[in-house]
Chains A and B, each alone.
Chain A
Amino acid sequence: MAIVNRAEGRAYLTPLVGFLLFFLGFPAAVNLVYSISTVSFETLRSPSLSGFGNYAAVLADREFWGAVSFSMRFGVLTALAECLIGLFLAVFLTPLLAKRSYLMAPLMLPLMVAPAMIGLMYRLVLHEFAGPVPYYLFEWFGDSPAFLGVDNAFRTLLVVEILQWTPFAFLLFYMAYAAIPLEVREAASLDGASALKALWWVELPLMLPTLVIAFFIRFIDGFRVFDNVYALTGSGAGGSTTSLSIYIYQAFFKGGAIGKAVAASVVLFLASLAVLYGLNWITGRGRR
């Protein structure tokens, strides 16, 4: 017998559905209208419908595709690096952390800092005349690279993001790795599996759902990056470090191209949905 009947269930769900409709549905509907309208700050309350011109403008804009390319590269590379380093740390530090769990606190420290603050911090740390890194490079080697110059900016931004968010991947992997039952490891050992084989054939398959989830959480975070990039390089020389979020922000507030910015965000929303459904399908197929 059901604990609540169908009518009661609906009654319980009503506030949640109402909340979602109001706080998510309303802005989504407004966005859809703006994306097919000619609208400016002066006409926010009276946009005039103009068809799909904003979408055409976005898709024909070389800067939009530059931003998509930046976000995609940034998202994939940071997610990959964070997961690989996080996994390495989880596997090698688990025995240590089992005995000295207090070490977890300093490892988690970067997660406590707001990304915008991280950006500002590295602006200082990497500055040729104020930062410790260039100072010591000049002391030791007589020169220092331009960390935020056009040739190195992308690599520097990658490193900054990876340093901040690897602890997040590490935390997830550590929990998953530590949760593998001891009996499973003992059985693998009795069957003659070496540590490497046990990791590859036993432990990693058991951690796979966590690995996949961590990768995509980090990919999504990397793809929509804004704060630290904006604080460090802005949109970069010639727009070279314009992420999709920065593109939308600039089109909306700086360029006043509200329809175009909203159209770009709708395109991003649809692309995200497609990726999520694709992932769902892949993981579903894997389970079967």
Chain B
Amino acid sequence: MKLNSTSFSAVAVLFASVALPGISHATVTVLGWPGGSEETALRATVEAYNAQSGIADADKVELLFFNRDGFFDKLQADMAAGSDAFDVNLVATYSIGRYAPYMEPVDLGADAGKVFGESVLKTMQFDGEQYGVPTDLSLHFMYYRKDLVDALMQDDVAKKKYAEIAKEHLGKDLQPKDPDSWTWDDWAATTLYFSKQVNSESPVRYGTVLQMKNLLFNMMVFQSLPRSYGADWTDKDGNVTVDSDAYKTGLELYKKLYDAGASPKDSLSYEYAETNAAYGSGQAATALQWNAAAADLTNAEKTPAVAAVTGIVAPPAGPNGRADHIHGLGLGLNKNAKNKEGAVKFLKWLATEDAALLYARSGGSPALAPDVAAKVSKERPDLVKLGEFASQYGYVMNGATSANALSVYELQAKEFTGYWAGQQSLEDALAHTKTGMQDLLKK
């Protein structure tokens, strides 16, 4: 009996010695986005937060990471099960509505708008409530080959050929232009001109690289084209408007370019990595791609074929001007948090200018208001462009933060790629998408 008691005590002491340090050091647990620059930046920022003199031991922050694969599915299952393993969790624009039932809104204070700008704060809102601090923003850049475009602009014979191709394929009288003033038609004519299948004298194989895999993220890349023609998911009354002329125009243009050979034949299986590889090979003149690719595509060691000749502009303009699809990662409050007070304190601090600048300097990609971004312009020139594009052209579709936003993107990916692959007509694709979206977006 004595042996049993002794053993029990020993085991209890062992457990206590393992568990207690965790309890004594940190009581605000933050579930972050694992791997990559986001993790590095969050670690550095949290370290600075914990080092502040005014932070009580009970409010210090501990970080928790797991794998990126299936992250949001696992998070959903965890939160649905009422997990209190973390006080603050990662949230993304397109999934806020899905997680909102398990989260609590946070008031970030009036200064947050000055740090990030209202359009960026909106990426973390659902039903008019702020559900998170926007930590990293993603949008799209139009990457293009400066050397090829410059050569085209200076060659009268090439200009004539360009005009012929534009007339034949697009039915429009167009002349080569500076990429920063491209309309989608200008871009389309340029991609056709630089495609071997259309112009056998093209110095590269393809005019562009379209990401057309049946994947929700590819729909985010595509979305800015119809948006610049006035597209939205719903009108102000909540009616689904995906069968609009704007969507038709965008979908038809992608198909026209794909069918004409302006994009690789395998484009229907292309996503982020394939696009980088294709553009980086030096065989494509343009690519509409995520801003995250800028670091690689302009790095001479990683992409020697094109790094020195790659230009970056915002996506081309439509009749309604330019549009750039933005979505962000952020951190918000778990409804079942054990230490809500400490968690809110940390989130409010994270929304301050000092914290945002520290996060940016540590490698994160926050979209900052122009005057705030100017303070890190030397260390992070890319953030200036990110903030500028986000504030000028950034948009979130009506319903894109709702509970089923992710499913809407999935639905569009399936139906739109079916049209691009020639498996169904444009009318059928839009009719199926509309029916599905009506079901997904109904309150």
Contacts and interface: CB of A to CB of B under 8 A. Distances in A.
Contact of A234 (B80, B213, B264, B424): B213
A150 B101 CA distance: 39
Interface of B: 70, 73, 76-77, 79-81, 98, 101, 212-216, 264-266, 268-269, 274, 277-278, 280-281, 283, 403-404, 406-407, 410, 414-415, 417-424
The 6 tightest CB contacts between A and B, nearest first, are A238-B418, A146-B265, A237-B421, A148-B269, A129-B281, A41-B80
Contacts, number: 93
A129 to B, nearest CB: 4
A163 to B, nearest CB: 18
Interface in A250-285: 250, 253-256
Nearest to B411: A255
A53 interface: no
A153 B406 CA distance: 26
A237 B268 contact: yes
A149 B77 contact: no
Interface in A159-208: none
A130 B81 CA distance: 43
B407 A150 contact: no
Given A146-B268, A256-B403, 11 more contacts: A128-B264, A130-B277, A234-B213, A236-B214, A237-B212, A237-B213, A238-B417, A254-B410, A255-B407, A256-B98, A256-B404
Nearest to B284: A129
A129 B73 CA distance: 32
Nearest to A44: B80
Contacts of A238: 214, 414-415, 417-419, 421, 423-424
Nearest to A143: B265
Contacts of A123: 269, 274
A232 interface: yes
Contacts of A148: 266, 268-269
Contact of A235 (B81, B214, B283): B214
Interface residues of A, number: 30
B277 A153 contact: no
A150 B214 contact: no
Residue with the greatest number of chain B CB neighbours at <10 A, chosen from A128, A129, A153: A129
26 contacts: A41-B76, A42-B101, A123-B274, A128-B266, A129-B277, A129-B280, A129-B281, A130-B281, A148-B266, A149-B265, A149-B266, A149-B269, A233-B269, A234-B214, A235-B214, A236-B214, A237-B214, A237-B268, A237-B421, A237-B423, A238-B418, A239-B414, A240-B421, A250-B410, A254-B216, A255-B410
Interface string A31-55: 0000000000110100000000000
Contacts of A42: 80, 101
B214 A44 contact: no
A254 B406 contact: yes
Interface of A: 41-42, 44, 123, 126-130, 145-150, 153, 232-240, 250, 253-256
Contacts of A150: 268, 421-423
A279 B365 CA distance: 58
A41 B77 contact: yes
B420 A147 contact: no
A158 B80 CA distance: 38
A26 to B, nearest CB: 16
B266 A146 contact: yes
Contacts of B410: 250, 254-255
Nearest to A63: B414
A153 B269 contact: yes
A250 B414 CA distance: 12
Chain B contact surface mostly: helix
A52 to B, nearest CB: 20
B75 to A, nearest CB: 11
B246 to A, nearest CB: 22
A240 B414 CA distance: 9
B220 to A, nearest CB: 15
A243 to B, nearest CB: 13
Contacts of B418: 237-240
Nearest to B407: A255
Contacts of A233: 213-214, 269
Contacts of B280: 129
B341 to A, nearest CB: 26
A244 to B, nearest CB: 16
Nearest to B422: A150
B269 A232 contact: yes
Nearest to B72: A253
B1 to A, nearest CB: 29
A128 B269 contact: no
B214 A128 contact: no
A147 to B, nearest CB: 7
Nearest to A256: B407
A239 B80 contact: no
A66 B265 CA distance: 24
B221 to A, nearest CB: 15
A237 B414 CA distance: 7
A123 B417 CA distance: 19
Contacts of B98: 41, 256
**Among A41, A149, A232, A239, residue most surrounded by chain B Cβ atoms (within 10 Å):** A41
Nearest to A144: B265
B365 to A, nearest CB: 26
Nearest to B265: A146
A130 to B, nearest CB: 5
Nearest to A41: B80
Interface centre among B215, B269, B417 (most CB of A within 10 A): B269
Contact of A129 (B80, B278, B406, B422): B278
A30 to B, nearest CB: 13
A127 to B, nearest CB: 6
Nearest to A129: B281
A239 B436 CA distance: 15
Given A42-B80, A237-B212, A237-B417, A127 B423 contact: no
A150 B421 CA distance: 6
A253 B419 CA distance: 24
A239 B266 contact: no
A217 B239 CA distance: 50
A197 to B, nearest CB: 48
Contacts of B264: 128-129, 146
Contacts of B419: 238
B415 to A, nearest CB: 7
Contacts of B421: 150, 237-238, 240
A233 B280 CA distance: 22
Nearest to B212: A237
